[in-house]
Amino acid sequence: MIGDMNSTIELAERGAARIEWIRSRMPLLARARDELAVSRPFEGHRIGMSLHLEPKTAVLLETLVAGGAEVVGTGNHGSTQDDVVAFLVRGGMTLFGRRDDTLEEHLAHVGQVLDSRPDMLLDNGGDLAAGVVARGTADEIVGGTEETTSGGDRLRGELAGAVSFPMIVINDSLLKAIGENKHAVGQSVVESFMRITNLMVPGRRFVVFGYGWCGRGVAHYLRALGGKVAVVEVDELKAFEAALDGFRVSEAEGVAAWGDVFITATGHPGVVTLETIGLMHDGAVLANCGHFPWEIDVEGLRAASTSRREIVDAVERIDLPDGRHVILLAGGRMFNLAGTEPKGNSLESMDLGFLLQTLSLERVATGAATLTPGAQPVPDDIDRTIARRMLGELRADS
């Protein structure tokens, strides 16, 4: 077992090293850590959490612990970074899960988190809240936060009524839509396109599907870098906005033969169909940045192909019966999290999102009475506090 111990120590060291740079560039959490270390709002609370376990999340968890929290948690299935877990466990947190967990193992870990009887939840997709409801232990919960819009939908849908405690939905914050979905995803998508493909952006023809928060960001940043950008959007009001923003706005068929790179950002399935792909020119590039890997009909495409293979990391060449080929990035999954050493959203945008988490959890701990049961947006004063702090950190006034 000594070998194991050594390798755990090594793992934890590696985690520590990777977190250092990141922590040093998350000043909003740093300040919160200092403040919470004095006020200790989470003293006596056990926070059950379920969130992507990577270095940025580690800085959030350190902040909660500094505020007195006991953290018991697990990651998302398949994305847990073992060195980060090793580092955090060494620091005293109770975390379940490894990168290679099977789905059953993962679900067992969610159960273990609930077994620990947390009285606060840091949820992601509604799994913890649903578990609490299923176990009938909702009255043990002071409240919590939910990271995603789809978790929020679940709280307002199937779990409505059953969730007797306040759950603040982080992703509904306008701050997050602007800071993360528009600007951070926009930046991350152009960075990833360049990093993965090494192709030239200026003068290239891009088609962006969706002109919501993410699509707006992607379309703007691609054009800013000299790309020619067309937008496909089913909502005519957003299509109108895109047109006045100076973009070509068309149905997919109208730009399929024109476009060179096709990027989906709609959150909806089946957006790029086999039919549309049939109109594209030889060598067209397909990529998705929406949450689910369903926006491009990858299955249909692969089924229709005569051969396919990964040429370089995250770049798959798919040959079609008519002699054309298309290039699929990251197998249709979020391509800004793919390829060698993906960075994901910028540190500052995550700092912002995690301060939303931190101050919302603090509100739950210290002012649950000011909240209502069930899903609700981030309290306005928290949004404003964070906006002000972020303006300060950016030194926006100079």
Ligand X SMILES: NC(=O)C1=CN([C@@H]2O[C@H](COP(=O)(O)OP(=O)(O)OC[C@H]3O[C@@H](n4cnc5c(N)ncnc54)[C@H](O)[C@@H]3O)[C@@H](O)[C@H]2O)C=CC1
Query: Of 207-266, which residues contact ligand X (CB under 6 A)?
Result: 209-215, 232-235, 238, 265-266
Is 191 a residue that touches its own copies (CB under 8 A)? yes
Min dist CB 80 to its own copies, Å, is 20
Tell me the site size for its own copies, rule CB under 8 A.
76
**Binding to its own copies by residue 227, rule CB under 8 A?**
yes
Minimum distance of its own copies from residue 93's CB (angstroms): 23
Using CB under 8 A, pick the residue from 244, 303, 321, 323 that binds its own copies. 244
Complex with its own copies: residue 98 or 223, whichever CB lies closer: 223
Segment contacting ligand X by CB under 6 A, of 72-80, 181-189, 366-374, 376-384: 181-189
Q: Per-residue x/- mask for ligand X, residues 286 to 305, rule CB under 6 A? A: ---xxx--------------
| 324 contributes a contact to ligand X by CB under 6 A | no
CB of 346 to its own copies, least distance (A): 4
Question: Which residue number has the CB closest to ligand X?
Answer: 212
Is 34 an interacting residue with respect to its own copies (CB under 8 A)? no
Question: What string of H, E and C letters represents the secondary structure of the chain?
Answer: CHHHHHHHHHHHHHHHHHHHHHHHCCHHHHHHHHHHHHHCCCCCCEEEEECCCCHHHHHHHHHHHHCCCEEEEECCCCCCCHHHHHHHHHCCCEEECCCCCCHHHHHHHHHHHHHCCCCEEEECCCHHHHHHHHHCCHHHCCEEEECCHHHHHHHHCCCCCCCCCEEEEHHHCHHHHHHHHHHHHHHHHHHHHHHHHCCCCCCCEEEEECCCHHHHHHHHHHHHCCCEEEEECCCHHHHHHHHHCCCEECCHHHHHCCCCEEEECCCCCCCECHHHHHHCCCCEEEEECCCCCCCECHHHHHHHCCEEEEEECCEEEEECCCCCEEEEEHHHCEHHHCCCCCCCCCHHHHHHHHHHHHHHHHHHHHHHHHCCCEEEECCHHHHHHHHHHHHHHCCCCC
Binding partner at 373 among ligand X, its own copies, none, C-beta below 5 to 8 Å by kind = none
Q: Which does 349 bind (CB under 5 to 8 A by kind): its own copies, ligand X, none?
A: its own copies
- Which of residues 47 and 320 has its CB atom nearest to its own copies in the complex? 320
C-alpha neighbours within 13 Å on the C-beta side of residue 286: 29
Per-residue x/- track, 65-104, ligand X (CB under 6 A)? ----------------------------------------
From the list its own copies, ligand X, none, partner contacted by residue 239 (C-beta under 5 to 8 A by kind): its own copies
Q: Return the residue of 158, 251, 275, 322 that touches its own copies, per CB under 8 A.
A: 251
Residues engaged in binding ligand X (CB under 6 A): 181, 185, 188, 209-215, 232-235, 238, 265-268, 271, 289-291, 334, 336
